[in-house]
């Protein structure tokens, strides 16, 4: 609040006062009072008026400063009316009443949305658990009845399973903090699981694998990590090149960090797009190639989950040559 | 000796397919179909290992595990479609030995089962050799013995021959062999398989085994 703006706002009072002073001056003068006496009276009343204005200005300024401080400290700004003191001034009290009404409606609205979002998340979770049962049955059916036909169906089944997992992890990403278990995690066994999951597709697509047999171990959460690595491997398969496709997985250790590299010799990513591949919904040039079915969700989830479990993820690529994703622990 | 595995799972389809799978993998299988007094039934069956679903009608898997643990030490693997850290922790605190998520990766499931069995029953000697038509495969050393001669195979070659021996008399598809190799972390492709088969034939011929592996055109191999 600035003083000149305040005065400008009070201009009507001041105008009335000026007119009143002129009238008073004329009247007192007509009664035969001396100019000096009249000026003294006017001086005193003007002083009084200024004093009132100043006092009012500082009091208002102080009050709003206090409110500003409260709102700054508030995590949810719409709770202002809940935490501020009820003002004793009648004009503020009216404002307060309205603000309180408005905030209350906001609080109700937010609670309603939160509830419905929570219910939706719970529904997704339970849906995923339900659908995993027929997926499990079908996978067992394939294992017990292998043929060219069932093998093909199993590849699709694996794809379905990947999408189902993506939905589950997407729904869960906000709760990573309450849902992880840091322990010594063997990178080899995670990578083996991921390869095993995508075995049919990798063999079918004729992709050569070169996996270091000493990837080592890190302290992290196995489940989230496996999901992240799976997304990266799925991408490497999706964006492979036609001939002699290869995926290399190796690790490196220095003083305080472990680097896990997942490298393919696929179609690569344009330099101009590489910064955006972790953005939600970004599909880029590669995503528009027919048949690639890019959703723009996989890498976004990877980045987000990596941040939450405290590991770094980097991507490097040269078009038509390679893409390397590095996870740094 | 065959290990006896008990399946505690309320989804009939999964239960039955799992039974076939485990029987094919060489285990004896028992199932529980009535979910009352599960712990007592388990103690009566005396399995070597239990696959325990968490979501069961009536008592859940954790409660059942606690009850079983009060009586016997049989290894228990939890199998469930819930995969939060809390679920996993629950499973381990009530005395589960492992925790596998549905849909399970089948080769991984089988590996974990055999690992836990080995750990729980170290006194059981593993089968060290497999014999067919007078030819012996020694698993630990990777040797093939025939009459009084022997020859060493590489890890890949040995694994391929071992798979053929396990399926002796049957036609084995090339892709089945490749997948089997992948399940054992040997990522070979179709060409490598052909090369390996040729080498195995040469090596077998050196110790006097001729025409053991037949090629069935368009189908695969058979011994």
Domains and CATH numbers, chain A: 3-106 (no CATH), 183-328 (3.30.565.10)
Query: pLDDT tens digit string along A143-168?
Result: 999 888 998 999 999 999 999 999 98
Predicted confidence at residue A1, as pLDDT, reads 76
Distances B191 to A152, A204, B87, B198 between C-alpha atoms, Å:
21, 13, 44, 11
Beta-carbon contacts of residue A273 (< 8 Å; ≥ 6 apart): A282, A284, A285
Is B170 touching A (CB cutoff 8 A)? no
What is the C-alpha to C-alpha distance for residues B80 and B11, in angstroms, rounded to an integer? 12
pLDDT above 90 (res B30): yes
Low-confidence ranges of chain A (pLDDT < 70): 290-291
Q: Which of B82, B103, B115, B185 to mutate to test the interface with A (most CBs of A within 10 A)?
A: B103
State the DSSP code for A181. Answer: -
- The DSSP H or E segment spanning A320 is none
Q: Which two tokens stand for residue A173?
A: 């990403």
Better-predicted residue by pLDDT, B92 or A65: A65
Predicted confidence at residue A290, as pLDDT, reads 63
B17: nearest CA partner in chain A: A140
Strands A322-328 and A312-318: what pairing? antiparallel
pLDDT above 80 (res B65): yes
pLDDT above 70 (res B73): yes
pTM as predicted:
0.81
B21: nearest CA partner in chain A: A144
What is the C-alpha to C-alpha distance for residues A298 and A231, in angstroms, rounded to an integer? 6
Better-predicted residue by pLDDT, A21 or B90: A21
Query: pLDDT tens digit string along A68-115?
Result: 999 999 998 888 888 888 888 888 888 899 999 999 999 999 999 999
Minimum mean pLDDT range among A38-42, A289-293, B87-91, B106-110: A289-293
Which of B120, B65, B58, B116 lies closest to B87, judged by CA? B65
Is B86 touching A (CB cutoff 8 A)? yes
Predicted confidence at residue B84, as pLDDT, reads 79
State the DSSP code for A119. Answer: H
From B18, B108, B190, residue closest to A193, measured CB to CB: B108
Burial of A248 by CB count in 10 Å (0-12 exposed, 13-18 middle, 19+ buried)?
middle
For residue A221, list chain B residues with Cβ-Cβ distance below 8 A: 85
For residue A195, list chain B residues with Cβ-Cβ distance below 8 A: 182, 185, 187
Q: How far A112 CA sits from the closest chain B CA (Å)?
A: 26
Q: Which of A134, A136, A240 to mutate to test the interface with B (most CBs of B within 10 A)?
A: A136
Is B202 touching A (CB cutoff 8 A)? no
CB contact under 8 A, B17 and A197: no
B window 109-168, beta carbon within 8 A of A: none
Mean pLDDT of chain B: 90
Predicted confidence at residue A172, as pLDDT, reads 85
Q: How far A250 CA sits from the closest chain B CA (Å)?
A: 15
pLDDT above 90 (res B160): yes
pLDDT above 80 (res B111): yes
The widest CA-to-CA distance across chain B, in whole angstroms, is 63
Predicted confidence at residue B199, as pLDDT, reads 94
Predicted confidence at residue A19, as pLDDT, reads 95
CB contact under 8 A, B182 and A193: no
User: Which domains does chain B possess?
Assistant: 4-120 (3.40.50.2300), 129-222 (1.10.10.10)
Distances A254 to A189, A259, A325 between C-alpha atoms, Å:
21, 8, 18
For residue B176, list chain A residues with Cβ-Cβ distance below 8 A: 146
A177: nearest CA partner in chain B: B85
């Amino acid at each position: 609040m600035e003083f000149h703006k305040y005065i400008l706002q009070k201009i009507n009072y001041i105008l009335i006062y000026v007119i009143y002073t002129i009238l008073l001056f004329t009247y007192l003068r007509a009664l035969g009072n001396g100019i000096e006496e009249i000026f003294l009276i006017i001086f005193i009343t003007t002083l009084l008026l200024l004093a009132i204005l100043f006092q009012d200005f500082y009091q208002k300024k102080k009050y709003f400063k206090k409110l500003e401080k409260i709102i700054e400290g508030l995590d949810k700004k719409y709770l202002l009316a809940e935490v501020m003191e009820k003002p004793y001034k009648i004009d503020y009290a009216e404002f307060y009443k309205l603000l309180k009404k408005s905030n209350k409606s906001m609080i109700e609205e937010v609670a309603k949305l939160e509830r419905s979002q929570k219910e939706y998340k719970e529904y997704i979770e339970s849906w995923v658990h339900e659908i995993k049962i027929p997926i499990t049955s079908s996978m067992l059916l394939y294992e017990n009845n292998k043929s060219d036909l069932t093998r093909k169906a199993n590849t699709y089944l694996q794809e379905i399973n990947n999408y189902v997992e993506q939905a589950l992890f997407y729904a869960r990403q906000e709760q990573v903090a309450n849902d992880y278990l840091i322990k010594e995690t063997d990178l080899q066994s995670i990578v083996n699981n991921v390869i095993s999951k995508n075995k049919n597709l990798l063999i079918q697509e004729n992709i050569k694998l070169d996996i270091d047999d000493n990837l080592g171990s890190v302290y992290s959460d196995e489940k989230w990590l496996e999901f992240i690595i799976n997304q990266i491997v799925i991408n490497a398969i999706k964006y492979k090149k036609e001939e002699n496709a290869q995926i290399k997985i190796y690790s490196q250790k220095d003083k305080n960090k472990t680097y896990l590299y997942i490298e393919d010799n696929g179609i690569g990513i344009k330099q101009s797009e590489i910064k955006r591949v972790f953005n939600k919904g970004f599909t880029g040039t590669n995503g528009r190639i027919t048949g690639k079915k890019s959703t723009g969700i996989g890498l976004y989830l990877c980045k987000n989950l990596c941040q939450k479990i405290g590991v770094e993820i980097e991507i490097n690529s040269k078009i038509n040559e390679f893409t390397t994703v590095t996870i740094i622990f | 000796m065959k290990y006896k595995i008990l399946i505690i799972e309320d989804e009939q389809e999964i239960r039955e397919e799992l039974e076939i799978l485990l029987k094919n993998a060489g285990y004896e299988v028992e199932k529980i179909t009535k979910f009352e007094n599960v712990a007592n039934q388990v103690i009566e069956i005396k399995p070597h290992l239990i696959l325990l679903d968490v979501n069961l009608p009536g008592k859940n898997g954790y409660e059942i595990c606690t009850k079983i643990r009060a009586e016997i030490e049989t290894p228990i693997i939890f199998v469930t479609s819930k995969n939060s850290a809390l679920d996993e922790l629950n499973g381990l605190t009530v005395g589960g030995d492992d925790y596998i998520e549905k849909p399970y990766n089948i080769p991984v499931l089988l590996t974990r089962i055999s690992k836990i069995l080995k750990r729980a029953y170290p006194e059981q000697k593993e089968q060290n050799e497999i014999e067919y038509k007078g030819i012996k495969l020694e698993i630990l050393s990777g040797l093939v013995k025939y009459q009084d001669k022997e020859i060493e195979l590489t890890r890949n070659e040995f694994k391929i021959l071992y798979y053929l021996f396990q399926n002796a008399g049957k036609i084995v598809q090339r892709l089945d062999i490749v997948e089997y190799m992948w399940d054992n972390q040997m990522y070979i492709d179709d060409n490598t398989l052909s090369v390996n088969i040729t080498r195995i034939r040469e090596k077998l011929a050196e110790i006097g085994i001729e025409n053991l592996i037949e090629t069935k055109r368009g189908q695969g191999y058979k011994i």
